[in-house]
Chains A and B, each alone.
Chain A
Amino acid sequence: MCNNHHQKIKSVHKDLQELEKQVDRRDFLKKTSLGIGALALGTLLGADKMFASINKNSSAEDILNTYNKNRLGLPHHLPKAKRIIYLFQSGGPSQMDLFDYKPKLTDMFGKELPESIIGGQRLTGMSGNQSTLPIAPSSFTFKQYGESRAWVSNAMPYLSEVVDDLCFIKGMQTDQINHTPAVTFMQTGNQLPGRPSIGSWLSYGLGSDNENLPTFITLVSKNGKGQPLKAALWGNGFLPTEHQGVQFRSGKDPVLYLSDPENYDGNDRRHMLNYLKDLNSLQTDAYGDPEIQARMSQYEMAFKMQTSVPEVTDLSDEPDKIFEMYGKDSRDPGTYAANCLMARKLLEKGVKFVQLYHQGWDQHSYCPGGVKSQSKKTDQPTAALIKDLKQRGMLDDTLVVWGGEFGRTVYSQGQLTKENYGRDHHPKAFTMWMAGAGVKPGFTYGETDDFSYNVVKDPVHVHDFHATLLHLFGIDHERLTFKHQGRRYRLTDVHGNVVKDLLT
């Protein structure tokens, strides 16, 4: 196989050229007339390389594995969390219609939002040219719940039952005011696509807990409307490709083509893959392109997923009680509820990062109705997930995160009436919550002003949130780095502080 081995294609990529320059066994022996001298020198240069293909036993591989396992020096400290489920509410849920209760607004209905509150902020093109910015109090009613007396609006009746397990962050702040950059920022730490997502960093840093399933899985609710999501949000960026999130389809068949075609028993597939692996190994030896290795590991993963995925996505052995808990949508594959239930199963099987996306939180108009219908789809399953994880003891080492890419404005976008208003994007203050491993249960951190417009106490920036998240996994965000194009990158770039007050 591969007889044109000596005719190397010269790479355009700089790293690959570097590899090509390295002394290679064949070239070395060919070009050196003194074979013995060359051998002796070769031994000095590194016997592994000289005899790479002759001495192909496992010991060198073992050394490499150990090296790879230790190279990052992780975890830096004792982790609190083993796995995470991130319930991403895409579009920007309205914080003052859900959790950030602002009673003083009721009396200010329709009044102009004071310039002192806006503070010269540049608004979006959608409401920036409005002649008036009338204050729109929430049309929802708020009550306090649980021992922690947390405020929740009547849009989320189920979640109000579990507030004592939640840790609200009311002073979230982001840098981005538009969807795509803001979601990208939230998921990758940078507003431009191309950086690794949180899940990829965790997969890269901590590895897999179950070789039969991907470490990082993405589930998107079906029939999502609103701003589109893109694969870069769960992409690996410059990290090795095997760390990218694997998106399961939202439907009956989460992964296509797992079952064997008709009249094929699949018995020789292992044999075929082994041969393919040999071929690919030859290519790796020649070019050292990490993408070949990624491809090899993905073939292996796909092979294992043929048995592991049907097993984990089969919800038929769940008792009716569980389906009732997650709501009737949970029987309809691809819905948010069904995804929550499947997420729990994936987490049970040792998937480290399950990323859910639910679109449609972008209430520029008809905000009360929009928030209500969004909540109806997500409230019960979210609360059920918390309960279900808790009763199984999984909340002990599972981190649950709920939140969108930004918040919404207190002033109405478009016409304001008693029953109806719209809200524009607002990056300066919004609410997120976490629950489970290592975060304080029944706790509220941070405060906004009376307009839910500016953070007046304990702001938490997206970078701080990322730093804290990594901290819970035993990672010092300043030390998990990857060198790319001549510099070392982090999830938090050059920012971020761990918010210690949120931790148990």
Chain B
Amino acid sequence: MENSVPDIVLFLGRFHPLVVHLPIGFLVFAFLLEVFSRVKKNSVLTTAIPLALFLGGVSALVACILGYMLSLSGDYDENALDSHFWFGVVTTVLAFVAWLIRIEKIKLSNYKKLQPNIAALTLLVIVISVTGHYGGNLTHGSDYLVKYLPFNKEKKTELAAVTNLKEAEVYGHLVAPILDNKCISCHNQSKKKGGLSMVDSVSIHSGGKNGPILVPGSATKSELVKRVLLDPHSKNFMPPEGKTPLTDEEIAIITYWINNSNAGFKTKVANVKTPENITTIASTMLGLTNSNSSEALPTVTKVSEQLIASIEKEGFRVRELVFDSSLFEVVLGENTLQEGTKDQLHDKLEKLLPIKENIIWLSLESKGITDENVKVISQFTNIQKLKLGKNPISDNAVEYLTNLQKMTSVNLFETNITAKSLRVFSKMKNLKYAYVWKTNIKQKDLEGYSSNNTPKIVLGM
């Protein structure tokens, strides 16, 4: 496209979005005056209508001219632009017509029944609304207005969510969301800034008015990457000032797409050489955590501050193990219930039941815990680390603990358990360590105890 439009024209053209609101105001105001004067039967109000219409017409004319200048930049989709252009012209003409009717230069006395004044104004409001809507579509994209419509949402054909990073499509799952978020608002079918649209593979390949934006295999030569890496103050920097720039992670993903998958549109992560930092970024983007299954964190319902405060009042120390996860470490604090009665202890433990799924580390050492108490604890099914050392508990307690299948380490040091518990430990599939120093389990009991697939038993050293 030739770029012979003088700068002054483009400069003035950019005032279109500013001026365009004047006619809207004037004309709608004229309409409201007309309506009010009829309702209130107040003829004084009508005296301002001709002026409002006249100013509306003039400002609409100016807006039209500026709009035409703006359209010369060639950044907009022809079809959408056409509708806006012609509706704009119609609005302007109609404004003057309405004005002429109002000052009775055009005499329509034969059509009195049609009430030409109010009819013309109503039409005007309708036309100006349509014009405005088309204009809005040009600036913000045609799906801007109803994007967050709460009902009847038209589902975009979305890629199936992946559970494994390897199955993800480099473009579809990783790159497209970035473009959608940061680029599409100015580079779409109706608003093609710089002649560039990024809605699909075809438009991305065809590039913008300065040529292609991708050089497959070389991110540093690709305009797409060059532009986002420029000095943010440069006028060629993308996204332009005022919009959110791409993050380092997003740039890394795009670079990886262009370099490692040759900017392919269907390539999957599995088929591409993927460095570790990309794996991390991509996993976070897709909400996948790359951890081993035994240590995966359970998702639990959020717990209110008040509930935690009430538990802390009982003497428990509650610490959130991951920020905002509602997963807790609970320790029965020192100086609470040193030699308390059994009932008290039982009541205290019951206080934990509302957060039984949220506790993943629990420590109740030297607190006079009995087998009965362990029954309560065995309901805390998400526990991974449990410390019950220095308590008068026996083999029965260990039996209860088999409920805790996520447990990786259990501390039963200085308790009354015996060698019978050894077999019970192996029922807990995830258990890796059992600490049983100062119990009735002795070194000789461990003879013949195979350590494959069974937890490591730690005695005194």
Is B one of A's binding partners? yes
Q: Please state if B322 and A396 are interface contacts (CB–CB under 8 Å).
A: no
- A252–B317 Cα gap in the complex (Å)? 32
A82-96 to B contact mask, C-beta < 8 Å, 1/0: 100000000000000
Q: Which of chain B's residues have a CB closer than 8 A to the CB of A76?
A: 322-323
> With an 8 A cutoff between CB atoms, is A397 at the interface?
yes
Q: Which of chain A's residues have a CB closer than 8 A to the CB of B154?
A: none
- A388–B437 Cα gap in the complex (Å)? 10
- A387–B437 Cα gap in the complex (Å)? 12
**Distance of A206 from chain B, by nearest CB (Å):** 9
**Distance of A318 from chain B, by nearest CB (Å):** 14
A469-502 to B contact mask, C-beta < 8 Å, 1/0: 0000010000000000000000000000000000
- Which one, B295, B297, B321, B437, contacts A392 given CB within 8 A? B437
Q: Please state if A78 and B458 are interface contacts (CB–CB under 8 Å).
A: no
- A70–B385 Cα gap in the complex (Å)? 24
Q: Which of A75, A79, A210, A393 has the most CB of B within 10 A?
A: A393
- Interface of chain A: mostly helix, strand, loop or mixed: loop
Q: Please state if A78 and B322 are interface contacts (CB–CB under 8 Å).
A: yes
- Which one, A77, A209, A387, contacts B461 given CB within 8 A? A387
Q: Which of B148-175 contact A (CB under 8 A)?
A: none
With both beta carbons as reference points, the residue of chain B lying nearest to A161 in the complex is identified as: B461
Q: Please state if B297 and A391 are interface contacts (CB–CB under 8 Å).
A: no
- A474–B327 Cα gap in the complex (Å)? 13
With both beta carbons as reference points, the residue of chain B lying nearest to A74 in the complex is identified as: B323
Q: Which of chain A's residues have a CB closer than 8 A to the CB of B380?
A: none
- A236–B306 Cα gap in the complex (Å)? 33
**Distance of B385 from chain A, by nearest CB (Å):** 7
Q: Which of A174-218 contact B (CB under 8 A)?
A: 209-210, 212
Q: Which of B318-340 contact A (CB under 8 A)?
A: 319-324, 327, 329, 331, 334-335
Q: Which of chain B's residues have a CB closer than 8 A to the CB of A114?
A: none
- Which one, A70, A349, A474, contacts B321 given CB within 8 A? A474
- A396–B305 Cα gap in the complex (Å)? 29
- A66–B308 Cα gap in the complex (Å)? 12
- Which one, B317, B322, B389, contacts A474 given CB within 8 A? B322
Q: Please state if B297 and A78 are interface contacts (CB–CB under 8 Å).
A: yes
Q: Which of A56-85 contact B (CB under 8 A)?
A: 66, 70, 73-79, 82
Q: Please state if B323 and A393 are interface contacts (CB–CB under 8 Å).
A: no
- Which one, A74, A82, A396, contacts B411 given CB within 8 A? A396
> With an 8 A cutoff between CB atoms, is A270 at the interface?
no
> With an 8 A cutoff between CB atoms, is A390 at the interface?
yes
- Which one, A66, A73, A82, A349, contacts B334 given CB within 8 A? A349
Q: Which of chain A's residues have a CB closer than 8 A to the CB of B321?
A: 75, 78-79, 474
With both beta carbons as reference points, the residue of chain A lying nearest to B319 in the complex is identified as: A209
Q: Which of chain A's residues have a CB closer than 8 A to the CB of B323?
A: 70, 73-76
Q: Please state if B458 and A390 are interface contacts (CB–CB under 8 Å).
A: yes
Q: Which of B407-452 contact A (CB under 8 A)?
A: 409, 411, 413, 433, 435, 437
A379-394 to B contact mask, C-beta < 8 Å, 1/0: 0000000011011110
With both beta carbons as reference points, the residue of chain B lying nearest to A383 in the complex is identified as: B461
User: How many A-B Cβ pairs are below 8 Å?
Assistant: 60
Q: Which of chain B's residues have a CB closer than 8 A to the CB of A387?
A: 461
Given contacts A66-B305, A73-B324, A78-B297, contact A393 B334 (CB under 8 A): no
B331-353 to A contact mask, C-beta < 8 Å, 1/0: 10011000000000000000000
Q: Please state if A392 and B322 are interface contacts (CB–CB under 8 Å).
A: no
- A66–B305 Cα gap in the complex (Å)? 9
> With an 8 A cutoff between CB atoms, is B460 at the interface?
yes
Given contacts A73-B324, A78-B321, A474-B322, contact A391 B334 (CB under 8 A): no
Q: Which of chain A's residues have a CB closer than 8 A to the CB of B324?
A: 73
Q: Which of chain A's residues have a CB closer than 8 A to the CB of B322?
A: 75-78, 474
Q: Please state if B409 and A396 are interface contacts (CB–CB under 8 Å).
A: yes
- A13–B438 Cα gap in the complex (Å)? 58
Given contacts A75-B323, A387-B461, contact A393 B317 (CB under 8 A): no
Q: Interface size on B (CB < 8 Å)?
A: 28
With both beta carbons as reference points, the residue of chain B lying nearest to A73 in the complex is identified as: B323
- A390–B456 Cα gap in the complex (Å)? 12
Q: Please state if A392 and B413 are interface contacts (CB–CB under 8 Å).
A: yes
Given contacts A73-B323, A75-B322, A212-B334, contact A393 B461 (CB under 8 A): no
- A392–B319 Cα gap in the complex (Å)? 22
**Distance of B235 from chain A, by nearest CB (Å):** 29
**Distance of B71 from chain A, by nearest CB (Å):** 47
With both beta carbons as reference points, the residue of chain A lying nearest to B333 in the complex is identified as: A210
**Distance of B95 from chain A, by nearest CB (Å):** 44
- A388–B459 Cα gap in the complex (Å)? 11
Q: Please state if B459 and A391 are interface contacts (CB–CB under 8 Å).
A: yes
Given contacts A78-B295, A79-B321, A474-B321, contact A391 B305 (CB under 8 A): no
Q: Please state if A393 and B387 are interface contacts (CB–CB under 8 Å).
A: yes
**Distance of A468 from chain B, by nearest CB (Å):** 16
Q: Please state if A388 and B385 are interface contacts (CB–CB under 8 Å).
A: no
With both beta carbons as reference points, the residue of chain A lying nearest to B289 in the complex is identified as: A77
Q: Which of A212, A387, A390 has the most CB of B within 10 A?
A: A390
**Distance of B447 from chain A, by nearest CB (Å):** 18
- A396–B431 Cα gap in the complex (Å)? 13
Q: Please state if B460 and A391 are interface contacts (CB–CB under 8 Å).
A: yes
**Distance of B433 from chain A, by nearest CB (Å):** 6
Given contacts A66-B305, A474-B322, contact A390 B334 (CB under 8 A): no
Q: Which of A365-417 contact B (CB under 8 A)?
A: 387-388, 390-393, 396-397
With both beta carbons as reference points, the residue of chain A lying nearest to B297 in the complex is identified as: A78
- A77–B295 Cα gap in the complex (Å)? 12
- Which one, B329, B331, B458, contacts A391 given CB within 8 A? B458
Q: Please state if A397 and B385 are interface contacts (CB–CB under 8 Å).
A: yes
**Distance of A389 from chain B, by nearest CB (Å):** 10
Q: Which of A209, A387, A390, A396 has the most CB of B within 10 A?
A: A396
**Distance of B303 from chain A, by nearest CB (Å):** 14
Q: Which of chain B's residues have a CB closer than 8 A to the CB of A66?
A: 305
B376-408 to A contact mask, C-beta < 8 Å, 1/0: 000000000101010000000000000000000
- A396–B433 Cα gap in the complex (Å)? 9
- Which one, B305, B334, B389, contacts A210 given CB within 8 A? B334
Q: Which of chain A's residues have a CB closer than 8 A to the CB of B319?
A: 209
Q: Please state if A392 and B433 are interface contacts (CB–CB under 8 Å).
A: no
Q: Which of chain B's residues have a CB closer than 8 A to the CB of A396?
A: 385, 409, 411, 433, 435
A79-B321, A391-B459, A393-B389 provided; 7 other pairs, C-beta below 8 A?
Answer: A70-B323, A75-B320, A76-B323, A212-B334, A393-B411, A396-B433, A396-B435
Closest A-B pairs by Cβ, 8 of them: A393-B435, A387-B461, A393-B411, A391-B437, A73-B323, A391-B460, A391-B461, A396-B409
B residues neighboring A (CB under 8 Å):
295, 297, 305, 317, 319-324, 327, 329, 331, 334-335, 385, 387, 389, 409, 411, 413, 433, 435, 437, 458-461
- Would you mind naming 15 contact pairs between A and B with Cβ atoms under 8 Å apart? A74-B323, A75-B320, A75-B322, A77-B322, A78-B327, A209-B331, A210-B334, A212-B334, A391-B435, A391-B458, A392-B437, A393-B389, A396-B409, A396-B411, A396-B435
